Amino acid sequence: MRELYPLIEPYREGNLQVSDLHTIHFEESGNPQGQPIVLLHGGPGGGCPPFYRQYFHPEKWRLIMFDQRGCGQSKPHAELRENTTWDLVGDIEKLREYLGIEKWVLFGGSWGSTLSLAYSQTHPSRCTGLILRGIFMLRQKELRWFYQEGASYIFPDAWEEYLKPIPLDEREDMISAYYKRLTSPDLQIQLEAARAWSIWEGSTSKLFVDPELKQKFGDDKFAAAFARIECHYFMNKGFLESENQLLLNVSRIRHIPAVIVQGRYDVVCPMISAWELHQAWPEAEFIVVPDAGHSMSEPGIRSALIDYTDKFALL
C-alpha cells in the first residue's frame, strides 16, 4: 500500500486573467524540468488543497494545479457568470500556453474526470496521458442517483440533513429546489443551502464516514463556492451538447495512454459510469479498488493513483 510523498511547497504561484471577469490562481511544484502534468480538481468548485501535491514524485513531475473559476483562490469567489465547462476547457489551454507547455498528462477525479474527458476530446494533440478516478460524466442518471433517489437508501441519516432546507412540496426536484436557494439574494438562505448540499457530499465520499471531511465541506467559504457552482453546472446539464457526449466522443482519445481508477463502493459517482467508460475505451487500464468509496485519500485509491503517477512519469 503506497503512502503519500512528503509535502512540498510550490516553486511558483501566480494568477492568470482568463476573461474580463475571471482570474484563476495557479501553482507549479516539483521539478521544473520534469514531465508536465495538470491536476483538474473536483466539484466543480472544489479547489486544490496542498496535499494533492503529495501524489506526485517531486523529482519526476512538473505539477501544475489551478483553482477553476469561482473557487479556491480564484476570483471572483463563487461566481456563476461566465462559468461553463467550455470556459474551463479554454482556461486549461490558456494556462498551457502561458506556461509554455507543449503537451501534458491530465490527472482528474470526479468532476476532474469529466473535465479531463472534455478537454482531451477537444485538444487530443495536447495530451500525453490521462489518469482518471471516480468517473463522472454528468448524465441525468448520475445526478438523479446522488441528488434525488438512490444514495439516500445507503445514507438515510445524512440524507435527512440534506432534505432539511427544502420544503416537502419541492422535494420532487431537489436540484432545482437547491438552485433556487443557492441563487437567492438572501445570503443566509444561500449559506444554509450551501452547507447542507456540501455536507451531504462530505458525508458520503468515503467508505467509512470521516468527521473531518464533513467539517471541511461545511466550512462557509468552501461550501458557498462548491454548492453554488456544482448546482449551476447540474442545472445546465454540464453545458454538454448531448446526454452521452463524453462517452460518444471517446474515439477521439482512445490512442492516448490512460488509466481509470474506481472505488467499488463509490456512492457519489457509482461504478456503472466507470464501467461504461471502460467498455467504450478498452485500451485504458481499468483498476477497481475493492474496499473504497469515492475519495482519492482512501488507502486503496491513494495507492493506485501513486502507482500510476509513477508509471506515467516514464511516458
Q: What is the pLDDT of residue 306?
A: 98
Instruction: Quote the DSSP letter at residue 75.
Output: B
Q: Taking residues 269-287, report their average pLDDT.
A: 98
Q: Taking residues 274-292, report their average pLDDT.
A: 98
At 281, is the pLDDT very low, low, confident or very high (cuts 50, 70, 90)? Answer: very high
Q: What is the pLDDT of residue 145?
A: 98
Q: What is the pLDDT of residue 189?
A: 98
Ramachandran category for residue 47: left, alpha or beta (phi over 0 → left; psi -120 to 50 → alpha): left
Whether 266 is catalytic is: yes
Return the residue matching grid coordinates 514524485. 57
Question: For 282, phi and psi rounded to 5 degrees?
Answer: -65, -20
Active-site annotation holder among 22, 266, 278, 295:
266
Q: What is the pLDDT of residue 74?
A: 98
Return the residue matching grid coordinates 501544475. 64
Whether 205 is catalytic is: no
Residues 6+ apart with CB under 8 A from 125: 103
Q: What is the pLDDT of residue 146?
A: 98
Active-site annotation holder among 25, 41, 278, 294:
294
CATH architecture, domain 12-139+240-313: 3-Layer(aba) Sandwich (3.40)
Q: Taking residues 201-217, report their average pLDDT.
A: 96
Q: What is the pLDDT of residue 69?
A: 98
Q: What is the pLDDT of residue 198?
A: 98
In this predicted model, what pLDDT tens digit does every residue of 2-42 receive, in sequence order?
A: 999 999 999 999 999 999 999 999 999 999 999 999 999 99
Q: How far apart are CA 194 and CA 17, in angstroms?
A: 27
Closest by CA to 292, choosing from 266, 260, 271, is 266
At 91, is the pLDDT very low, low, confident or very high (cuts 50, 70, 90)? Answer: very high
Q: What is the pLDDT of residue 139?
A: 98
Please provide the DSSP assignment of 120-150 as one string. HHH-GGGEEEEEEEEE----HHHHHHHHTSS
At 271, is the pLDDT very low, low, confident or very high (cuts 50, 70, 90)? Answer: very high
Q: What is the pLDDT of residue 36?
A: 98
Q: Dihedral sign, CA of 94, 95, 98, 103?
A: negative
Q: What is the pLDDT of residue 257?
A: 98
Q: What is the pLDDT of residue 220?
A: 97
Domain boundaries, the chain: 12-139+240-313, 141-238
Q: What is the pLDDT of residue 34?
A: 98
Question: Is the pTM here over 0.85, yes or no?
Answer: yes
Whether 77 is catalytic is: no
At 313, is the pLDDT very low, low, confident or very high (cuts 50, 70, 90)? Answer: very high
Q: What is the pLDDT of residue 213?
A: 95
At 165, is the pLDDT very low, low, confident or very high (cuts 50, 70, 90)? Answer: very high
Q: What is the pLDDT of residue 224?
A: 97
Q: Taking residues 218-236, report their average pLDDT.
A: 98
Q: What is the pLDDT of residue 16?
A: 98
Active-site annotation holder among 74, 110, 116, 295:
110
Angle value at C-alpha 291, between 286 and 294, nearest 5 degrees: 70
Share of the chain above pLDDT 70, in %: 100
